[in-house]
Amino acid sequence: MFSFLKKSAEAAPAPSWGERLKAGLARTRVQIGGLFGGGKIDAALYEELEEALLCADTGVAATQFLLDNLRQQVKKKGLSDSRELKAALREGLATLIAPLERPLLIEGHQPFIIMLAGVNGAGKTTSIGKLAKFFQAQGKSVLLAAGDTFRAAAREQLTIWGERNQVAVITQQGGDPAAVIFDAIQAARARKIDIVLADTAGRLPTQLHLMEEIRKVKRVIAKADASAPHEVLLVLDANTGQNALSQVKSFDDALGLTGLILTKLDGTAKGGVVAAIARERPVPIRFIGIGEGIDDLRPFIAQDFAAALVDSD
């Protein structure tokens, strides 16, 4: 199978290519950076705006939607200055994603059971560590359930987050995620804990059997408490491109999502795919992740997000 190893084809790139691309990148940057200097509104300006949105992972359809909307605004309000255009685009985007700004309220159930799901490496376990801190700061008691029984040292990783937060982590030697979480719910009830945060293993929606497995986890949670889970969160990596939308759809179809967490916004990725999510599968974004530390969790504010996206260079 690995017979290719014998070949030593070092495919050299065309020498001019790297240079061309670098020039291309610089071009984009300059264009977007110098975009709103206060000049005239013309076709070139719209094209530059389109590029800014596309480069932020907004996607072809959502970008088109935002620009069509912008053109209407220009007509209706008689905008003539490129700076006004910027404000209008930011407004348009903010309006589009505003429905996603719906904070998570912990009420009506004790324990309040929160289940996290997502693809591999998105930031589920880290987000649980941050959420534990967040909820404890509000005076709530928290318990963690180590439902990732697949990945090497996933349990140890969560255990360390438990120690950092000084909260209990329910783990099991064996391999059944549903059973661990079921146990954790029983323990939380016995200990009168306010919130259970259930970690799960990362999975890609193409792995239908693993999607079936996580559906079972949800069913078993409902066996422990018929009203649970009270929140089903999908964790999304802001670096993800258009696949993020299909992740939302697949996990929503499988589990009925109640919220999203968008992680890794401390990097250069803008998470513009949120605009597409707002149009096609508007699941509220409960939190954003802005670092690897325990405090690096923030509520999602549509206005801020829109500003970061449109002001980006």
Ligand X SMILES: Nc1nc2c(ncn2[C@@H]2O[C@H](COP(=O)(O)OP(=O)(O)OP(=O)(O)O)[C@@H](O)[C@H]2O)c(=O)[nH]1
- Chain positions contacting ligand GDP, by CB under 6 A: 118, 120-126, 202, 235, 263-264, 266-267, 289-292, 296
The entry of ligand X, Mg ion, ligand GDP, none near residue 264 (CB within 5 to 8 angstroms by kind) is ligand GDP
Q: Per CB under 6 A, which of residues 107..166 are in contact with ligand X? A: 120-121, 151
Q: Per CB under 8 A, which of residues 217..276 are in contact with other proteins? A: 237, 239-244, 246, 253, 264, 266-270, 273
Decide whether 38 or 175 has the Cβ nearer to ligand GDP. Answer: 175
3-class DSSP state for residue 308? Answer: helix
DSSP letter, residue 230? S
User: Total binding residues for other proteins by CB under 8 A?
Assistant: 70
CB–CB of 312/56 below 8 Å?
A: yes
How far is residue 192's CA from residue 59's CA, in Å, rounded to a whole number? Answer: 46
3-class DSSP state for residue 31? Answer: helix
Decide whether 82 or 172 has the Cβ nearer to Mg ion. Answer: 172
177 binds ligand X (CB under 6 A): no
Span of 77-85, 125-133, 281-289, 294-302 interacting with Mg ion by CB under 5 A: 125-133
63's tokens: 């970008």
Decide whether 124 or 286 has the Cβ nearer to Mg ion. Answer: 124
- Name every residue whose Cβ is closer than 8 Å to that of residue 241 and which is 6 or more positions away in sequence: 57, 273
The entry of other proteins, ligand X, Mg ion, none near residue 4 (CB within 5 to 8 angstroms by kind) is other proteins
The entry of Mg ion, ligand X, ligand GDP, none near residue 123 (CB within 5 to 8 angstroms by kind) is ligand GDP
DSSP letter string over 102-117?
A: ------S-SSEEEEEE
The packing angle between helices 82-97 and 273-280, to 10°, is 50
CB of residue 222 to ligand X, shortest distance in Å:
26
Cis, peptide link before residue 111, omega less than 30° from 0? yes
Instruction: List the one residue from 160, 187, 204, 308 that touches ligand X (CB under 6 A).
Output: 204
According to DSSP, the β-strands at 297-299 and 285-289 are antiparallel
Report H helices in 166-207. Answer: 177-190
CB–CB of 147/179 below 8 Å?
A: no
The number of residues in the chain equals 313
User: Total binding residues for ligand X by CB under 6 A?
Assistant: 5
Summarize as ranges the residues that interact with other proteins (CB under 8 A).
1-2, 4-13, 17-18, 20-22, 24-25, 27-28, 51, 54-57, 59-60, 119-123, 129, 150-154, 156-157, 159-161, 202, 204-210, 212, 237, 239-244, 246, 253, 264, 266-270, 273, 292
Summarize as ranges the residues that interact with ligand X (CB under 6 A).
120-121, 151, 202, 204
